[in-house]
Copies of this chain bind each other. A is one copy, B any other.
Amino acid sequence: MAAEVSTRDVVITDGPRPKHAQLTDLLTAMATAELGAGASIPSERELMTTYDVSRATVRKAIDTLISDGLLERVHGKGTFVARPRLESRLHLASFSQDMRRRGLTPSTRLLTLEADRPPAEVARALGLRRTGVAWRLSRVRLADGQPIALEDGWYPRAALPGLDTHDLGGSLYELFADAYGLVIDRAEQTLWGESADSATARRLEAPVHTPLLVFRRISTADGRPLEHVVSRYRGDRYQIHMSLDQDRTG
């Protein structure tokens, strides 16, 4: 294999890319490829001299990597490559359950609750007969007082009699379990993007054209569909992390 370039041979130059960014990249390579967790990187004054930059530039680059969790400083001792951090995982949850997991306080503005005949597509999804009636529930969902999502959901009335007599400000999944003995155990969900129109923007307290993540979810309890809901989340303020595993059937 051809000789590899040492990070010491790299020169930091004036140019479109800021010096502190070049140094950040260089230190990243040094830390991960040459040194490994626990090792010390060269001192600030040494890096100044080696790469002919100011100490403030060196400190800015190191600050960035500390913020990213790659390095850590010890006063009077040096700067060291940090050990990597751990991650956690998620599951099927209602909006309220989801927000509480993050230490946020979920709340709700109820917009609409009425019994009606749903559109054909919704009726199909819920397994309703042509004359079947469902509850229509529209809500703004908030986390710590901030509007996050706009929800428009349908719930079969036959399976959930008296739903309108319950407090619908919290988790519907918890309500279904407690009041009806119906445990949501599975959902099929479809996601696409939309631009917020003026009505939606107003309800979400966002500018028009804000990108939205739109989720259509059909939830079931023991194979029985109980929910058809479309939720519009601010795509600029909400992100989703997911773990993908190899398809076991493949």
Q: A165 contacts the other chain (Cβ, under 8 Å)? A: no
Chain B contacts for A245, CB-based, 8 A: 91-92, 185-186
Is the Cβ of B86 less than 8 Å from the Cβ of A241? no
A131 on the B face (CB < 8 A)? yes
Knowing A124-B70, A188-B241 touch, does A193 contact B246 (C-beta < 8 A)?
A: no
- CB closest chain-B residue, reference A103: B84
Tell me if A's interface is mostly helix, strand, loop or mixed: mixed
Q: Which residues of B contact A120 (CB under 8 A)?
A: 21, 24-25, 28, 65, 68
Smallest CB gap from A64: residue in B: B120
Q: Does A30 reach chain B (CB closer than 8 Å)?
A: yes
Beyond A25-B132, A37-B146, A128-B32, whether A236 also contacts B192 by CB under 8 A is yes
> How many copies, total?
2
Closest to A25 in B: B120
**Contact of B34 with A130 in the complex, beta carbons under 8 Å:** yes
Report yes or no: A240 in contact with B148, Cβ–Cβ below 8 A.
no
Chain A contacts to B: CB under 8 angstroms = 4-7, 21, 24-25, 28-30, 32-34, 37, 63, 65, 67-68, 70, 83-94, 97-99, 102, 104, 117, 119-121, 123-124, 127-132, 143, 146, 148, 183-195, 209-213, 217, 219, 233-247, 250
Name 14 A/B residue pairs within 8 A (Cβ), A-sorted: A21-B120, A29-B123, A33-B129, A84-B104, A86-B102, A87-B102, A88-B93, A88-B238, A90-B240, A91-B246, A93-B247, A185-B245, A189-B241, A193-B235
